[in-house]
Amino acid sequence: MLTDTNTGDKKFEKLSEIISEKRDQQGMLLPILQEAQNIFGYLDEEIQLYISEKTGVPLTTIYGVSTFYSQFTLKPKGQYRIEVCLGTACYVKGAQAILDELEKVLKVNVGQTTKDGKFSLNAARCLGCCGLAPVMKINDEVFGAVKPSDIKNILKRY
Ligand code: FES
């Protein structure tokens, strides 16, 4: 069942055009999924089913490809993507407490998006700035030497 919002319909229309263009090309599935990810920002079951119906590719294959490549995400992402580094340098300086505080304040678990779609919370291995540990990022902005008590003020900026 397709989404009934106008924006959603427009997105599916665009996807339909892309599928019509690429359907008969060899190796079309990956480019179609990439375009769908660009249009919607994620590939949920509804989108996967739509692609399956339009291309004739089994849903299990589409699901397999969507989960194999890390470039694809199956759930809507938040407007702001928070990444908390749990790499060694950050971990020993208290990164877990920062993640716990973010889960508490945002009322989500790691890997989830807030109900209003504003923030998604993720853990990362190493953000490449270990000297600033513990580190978190919101989209491209890096915050260093973060303390759990800083979290509310940091989030207020967004
Ligand atoms: S371990 Fe956290 S930035 Fe490298």
Q: Specify the ligand 1 atom closest to the Cα of 133.
A: 2
Q: Which residues line ligand 1 (CB under 6 A)?
A: 85, 87-90, 126-130, 133, 135
Q: Could you read off the pLDDT tens digit of each residue along the chain, which spans 158 residues?
A: 444 445 668 999 999 999 999 999 999 999 999 999 999 888 999 999 999 999 999 999 999 999 988 788 888 778 899 999 999 999 999 999 999 999 999 999 998 889 898 999 999 999 999 999 999 999 989 999 999 999 999 999 99
Q: Closest ligand 1 atom, CA of 88?
A: 1
Tell me, in angstroms, the distance from the centre of ligand 1 to residue 91's CA.
8
Nearest-5° Cα angle at 77, 107 to 72: 135
Centre of ligand 1 to C-alpha 143, Å, is: 12
Task: Please report the atom of ligand 1 found closest to the CA of residue 126.
Answer: 4
Distance 149 CA to ligand 1 centre (A): 20
Q: What are the residue ranges of helices labelled H in 1-126?
A: 6-22, 29-40, 45-55, 59-68, 88-92, 95-106
The pTM of the full predicted model, rounded to 2 decimals, is 0.65
Q: Which residues are paired to 142 by β-bridges?
A: 137
